[in-house]
Structure 1
Amino acid sequence: MDNSLIIFGLLFLLSVLFSKISDKYGVPALLMFLAVGMLAGSDGVIGLEFNNAKIAENVGTIALIYILFAGGFNTNYKSIKPIFKSGIILATFGVVISAVITGVFAYYIMGFSILESLLFGAIISSTDAAAVFSIMRSTKLKNNLASLLEFESGSNDPMAIFLTITLLGLLTATTVIDPYTMSIKLLLEFILGGAMGYLFGIIIPSLINRVKLGSWGLYPVLLIALVAMLFGLSEKIGGNGYIAVYVAGIIANKKEFLYKKNLTGFFDGIAWMMQIFIFLTLGLLVFPSELPHVAMISILMALIVMFISRPISVFLCTIFSKYNFKEKCFISWVGLRGVVPIILATYPLSAELENGQLMFNIIFFMVLISVLTQGTTLNKSAKIFGVIEAEKSNTNMPSSPISYSDIKQYRIGESSKVIGKNLTEIGLPDDFLIVLAKRDGELIKVSGSFEFMQNDILLILCNSELRYQKIIRIYGL
């Protein structure tokens, strides 16, 4: 037991330390995590034996639930609003188009059956949010390109998962499935998953604001439990749990609630932990000695995805968008494959399909190629295609943006409707900022958990007297 814990801790420590290489040289962190797993595997230095695809699939499923929720939870709805239409088309139709084109090539090149070929295309069809976020965080792009790419990479996983599970179900079905019944089932999965996600997205902030737990440390536990329940309930009623958790994250982020900043940071850490855990597991599952046998076919299929499937899907999906030719080329190049394709590649492996191991090895190699080529050249390609936004000068900034008349003082009266409520529960607008409160002669910094009491004196920042009076009246201060 002691040795296992030492090895477990050492692998996580190496993964975290190796992520520094990602920050310094622009190599995606997932490549570092996979490398650590492969070095620890049966063909590596440590020689850990692991070949249970079912365990890897289950670990991957749990990891995906929280990675997708964290992706939605970290998505600012205001930033995606201008690009929502283009992003959702890329994340849905773009995935389908890419999967079909890749599947057609797989059918003729690899000799798979048509369903196996489409399954292969579906598995490799989604882009990796973690890789895109980590590589592009320091690059400011024109025309909301960064928001588009982040939203697309974060929201196209559910469609890829959806297609993979559906095609795998067709391949393993013992009876003939009626196309009409299947179409209705698929439509219901989207509708019910989206509806459950929207419902929980509204419930989560409201529940956090009202439950008033004794310790802030219990709030992350509460949210972890709610996300698990959401996924399970969505799957139970026939919805898509992955869509549900992603939508819930986005909707919840729109609202203000207690410890929002802390919880967002916590789930960012959870997402990183899940990525490291699944990458290590998948790294252990792969046998590096088998990869040279699929090297040529993997390189060929990777080139097809990078230069044919992805560009065609991007140009078709953005045909009526505001983006020009160079911007579309850049969007096409930012099609990194990452954790989701490798996780999905364990599905045919655990289902014991005849070509399951071959699919897993090829897709694993394709992800490595994508990360090494696209991942390390994103910043350079942004310069080549001229999509980096020039820094704006601040010479026209006003010398005094806040005037004395913007600052108001207000006392909470005995008839106030906000007594006993906290700041996030009220949901005040952004242009009405409560900076400080004075209670019994003591100054208090107002945060989301601040609870209003009678005779509190509030220091408020609001740049319009009419707006100030209107909010006081509406919110019953």
Structure 2
Amino acid sequence: MEASHHLILLGSALVLLSIFAGVFSARFGAPLLLIFLGLGILAGEEGPGGILFRDFHAAYLIGSIALAIILFDGGLRTDPKDVRRALWPSLALATIGVIVTAAIVATAAALLFSTSWSRGLLIGAIVAPTDAAAVSALLHLRRLELRARIAAILEIESGINDPISVLLAVLLVNLLAAPAPLPASHIVALLAREIVGGTAFGLGGGYLLLALVNRLEATSGLYPILALAGGTALFGAAQTAGASGFLAAYLAGLILGSHRHRATQVINQAFDAFAWLSQIVLFLILGLLVKPSGLVPILGPSLVVAAVLMLAARPMAVVLCLLPFRYTAPEIAFISWVGLRGAVPIFLAIIPVLAALPDATMFFGVAFIVVLISLILQGWTVAAAARMFDLDVPPLQQASRLDIDLPGRLGDENTVAGYRVEARCRAASKTVEALPLPPTSSVLVVIRDGIARSAASAPPLAPGDYVLALARPQDLALLDRVFGPRPERSRADERGLLGEFAFDGTTALATIARLYDPAAAANGAATLAEFLASRFGGAPAVGDRTRFGAVELVVRDMQGDTITQVGVELEPAPVHPWRVWLQRFRPRRG
């Protein structure tokens, strides 16, 4: 009994220490995942903590649950617009890209470790998956945002390639452990069952979970538990049926997150905590498993594997997968570099150990070193790379909004949102009647100095006031623009991120040609918004840019899916000399 109490104390202390260390490390821009992993090592048997933990079965169980929660949360937070914008290139990277990456790494690993190509391929499959959550966290620390379509492809690729990598690693372990070669028909059937079954469990379970959330009358605190239990139950059911539980968890989260429901806010807020706790526990457990002294014999070859992965395998896979989708050379170069590795490769390296493959700990050591190098080199340079390739956009200044989930309300009904009036917002100094609100929205109450006033009797709004508004879920973005701070253009214009001059999206393309480059071919009937939308496959995003004659057009602002403002860059020559070379390989659009 006393040992149990010590275990509880020790586990809680490690989690608390991880949080404190993460907050402190943010000042130096250190990757949080690297901090969590480092604390696990320090607490391990060869660190000051001296904890002896070699239970790979327990680590696999805990890791599976944690990874399922992380993937469910990733799907929950994926914007449906991002899916439409980047689904096919993300699918290409998560399937073809994983296979190409694994194959290139396999060749190097087989030579470096003097092993068979199949074992080298297992190493490649283990280190192939990326971690977009780490990239997002690092950019957030630097107060940077990527162009929407770049952020979308990184996020969706990471959500999909984790299940694909797990499937490939399990398949290769089965092939290596089988006493006789498996027939091709058996392999195809296994792949089909994993992918098709995982998709069916994810989509079907996601809609079932959505229906349960909307139909069950429960206290608000039970809805996150319902979603958590439902997501992990889907994972377990899919795995039991021989399908991909990780794919099912991601898709179920995607379905639940893409539909508003009666518990949208409480579930999202709770899963933010669930996902962080899962990340901390997962990295601590994986760090505890590591014996630094056991890494020394394979350190040299593993460093070369990491170099091949970052400098050859990942870039070649990205070029092969993204060129058909007309991504530019700077975009391809950036996506190639930020293929950050996280917990999944180390987790996958547990599978050969559990299968008792010969020299199985070698896979674990290689995966750990590759992840460590990736977090150090790529993790610390993500923000610099975004600036270097001019793929960052000014961070949007968010409105201070609190969505209120009303009891009994379903997702497609009007919602109540609370706003704090900001000093530099469009609503400041205006009366409620003068606010540019959608016709289906209305202000219910204005609160000033703790006193609530009806919309009719409220004075002109002032900074610090609180407003409760009734609106349709699809109109909340418009209300954000009314009550949120006006965007500061000066920081963006310092580097020409959004162009030197701004034009309305309805401006005729021929007007720009006449003003800046009469030789440029322009459809007289097309507007700037229509031209840019066609150039970006009907899914443009703020920060997207394309050449038009001698100038460059930049998507500067959007309202929903419509481009409302376009920037014009008069001298779009690359800032960095090396980008002149990159531009030679830039694919043409349109």
TM-score when normalising by structure 2: 0.67
Q: What's 2:63 paired with?
A: 60
CA distance in 2, matches of 1:392, 1:267: 23
| 1:199 positional shift | 1.1
Does the Cα contact within 8 Å between 2:414 and 2:471 map onto a contact in 1? no
Q: What's 2:408 paired with?
A: 422
Structure-to-structure mapping, 1:104-143, within 5 angstroms: 104-137=107-140, 138-142=143-147
Does the Cα contact within 8 Å between 1:38 and 1:44 map onto a contact in 2? yes
CA distance in 2, matches of 1:424, 1:280: 39
Partner residue of 1:295 out of 292, 299, 309:
299
Letter in 1 for 2:383: N
Q: What's 2:47 paired with?
A: 44
CA distance in 2, matches of 1:459, 1:31: 42
Instruction: Evaluate the alpha carbon distance shift between residue 167 and residue 334 of structure 1 in structure 2; reply closer, same or farther with a 3 A threshold.
Output: same
CA distance in 1, matches of 2:14, 2:250: 29
Does the Cα contact within 8 Å between 1:92 and 1:156 map onto a contact in 2? yes
Letter in 2 for 1:134: A
| 1:171 positional shift | 1.2
Deviations 1:288-327 (A, max 9, x none): 1222322211211100000000000000000112321111
Does the Cα contact within 8 Å between 2:193 and 2:243 map onto a contact in 1? yes
Q: What's 1:210 paired with?
A: 215
Q: What's 1:150 paired with?
A: 155
Q: What's 2:338 paired with?
A: 334
CA distance in 2, matches of 1:195, 1:113: 36
Deviations 1:171-220 (A, max 9, x none): 1123432111220221121112111111122121221111101x222212
Note if 1:161 corresponds to 2:161. no
Note if 1:199 corresponds to 2:185. no
| 1:350 positional shift | 2.0
Partner residue of 1:387 out of 364, 387, 391:
391
Structure-to-structure mapping, 1:463-474, within 5 angstroms: none
CA distance in 2, matches of 1:36, 1:460: 47
Note if 1:188 corresponds to 2:188. no
Instruction: Evaluate the alpha carbon distance shift between residue 143 and residue 277 of structure 1 in structure 2; reply closer, same or farther with a 3 A threshold.
Output: closer
CA distance in 2, matches of 1:387, 1:13: 36
Deviations 1:434-471 (A, max 9, x none): 7549xxxx9999xxxxxxxxxxxx9865899xxxxxxx
Secondary structure at the residue paired with 1:318? helix
| 1:426 positional shift | 4.3
Instruction: Evaluate the alpha carbon distance shift between residue 315 and residue 429 of structure 1 in structure 2; reply closer, same or farther with a 3 A threshold.
Output: farther
Deviations 1:397-443 (A, max 9, x none): xxxxxxxxxxxxxxxxxxxxxxx993325446997447549xxxx99
Does the Cα contact within 8 Å between 1:336 and 1:371 map onto a contact in 2? yes
CA distance in 1, matches of 2:288, 2:215: 44
Letter in 2 for 1:123: I
Q: What's 1:470 paired with?
A: none
Structure-to-structure mapping, 1:386-405, within 5 angstroms: 386-389=390-393
Partner residue of 1:321 out of 325, 348, 367:
325
CA distance in 2, matches of 1:142, 1:384: 14
CA distance in 1, matches of 2:156, 2:8: 37
| 1:22 positional shift | 4.3
Instruction: Evaluate the alpha carbon distance shift between residue 389 and residue 459 of structure 1 in structure 2; reply closer, same or farther with a 3 A threshold.
Output: closer
Letter in 2 for 1:79: D
Figure out how many residues of one structure are paired with residues of the other and give that number.
Answer: 421
Instruction: Evaluate the alpha carbon distance shift between residue 461 and residue 146 of structure 1 in structure 2; reply closer, same or farther with a 3 A threshold.
Output: closer
Q: What's 1:17 paired with?
A: 20
Q: What's 2:526 paired with?
A: none
| 1:287 positional shift | 0.6
Secondary structure at the residue paired with 1:156? helix
Deviations 1:360-396 (A, max 9, x none): 1121011111100000001111122222235799xxx
- Dislocated runs of 4+, deviation >6 Å: 442-445
Q: What's 1:233 paired with?
A: 237
Structure-to-structure mapping, 1:224-373, within 5 angstroms: 224-373=228-377
Secondary structure at the residue paired with 2:242? coil
| 1:3 positional shift | 2.9
Secondary structure at the residue paired with 2:192? helix
| 1:51 positional shift | 1.2
CA distance in 1, matches of 2:325, 2:229: 40
| 1:13 positional shift | 0.9
Higher helix share: 1
CA distance in 2, matches of 1:141, 1:221: 33
Does the Cα contact within 8 Å between 1:330 and 1:385 map onto a contact in 2? yes
Secondary structure at the residue paired with 2:47? coil
Letter in 1 for 2:108: F
Secondary structure at the residue paired with 1:348? helix
Letter in 1 for 2:264: K
Note if 1:27 corresponds to 2:30. yes
Deviations 1:222-264 (A, max 9, x none): 1222112211222233321111110111111111112211111
Letter in 1 for 2:151: A
TM-align CA RMSD: 2.7
Pick 1 or 2: higher relative contact order, CA cutoff 8 A, min separation 6. Answer: 1
Instruction: Evaluate the alpha carbon distance shift between residue 183 and residue 444 of structure 1 in structure 2; reply closer, same or farther with a 3 A threshold.
Output: farther
TM-score when normalising by structure 1: 0.82
Unpaired stretches in structure 1, ≥5 consecutive residues: 394-419, 446-457, 465-477
CA distance in 2, matches of 1:312, 1:52: 37
Does the Cα contact within 8 Å between 2:76 and 2:258 map onto a contact in 1? no
Deviations 1:303-361 (A, max 9, x none): 00000000000000001123211111000000111100011111112222112111111
Does the Cα contact within 8 Å between 1:101 and 1:121 map onto a contact in 2? yes
Higher strand share: 2
Secondary structure at the residue paired with 1:352? coil
Letter in 2 for 1:382: A
Per mean C-alpha deviation after superposition, the further-off stretch among 202-211 and 333-342 is 202-211
CA distance in 2, matches of 1:199, 1:46: 45
Instruction: Evaluate the alpha carbon distance shift between residue 330 and residue 61 of structure 1 in structure 2; reply closer, same or farther with a 3 A threshold.
Output: same
Instruction: Evaluate the alpha carbon distance shift between residue 328 and residue 133 of structure 1 in structure 2; reply closer, same or farther with a 3 A threshold.
Output: same
CA distance in 2, matches of 1:226, 1:391: 35
CA distance in 2, matches of 1:50, 1:67: 23
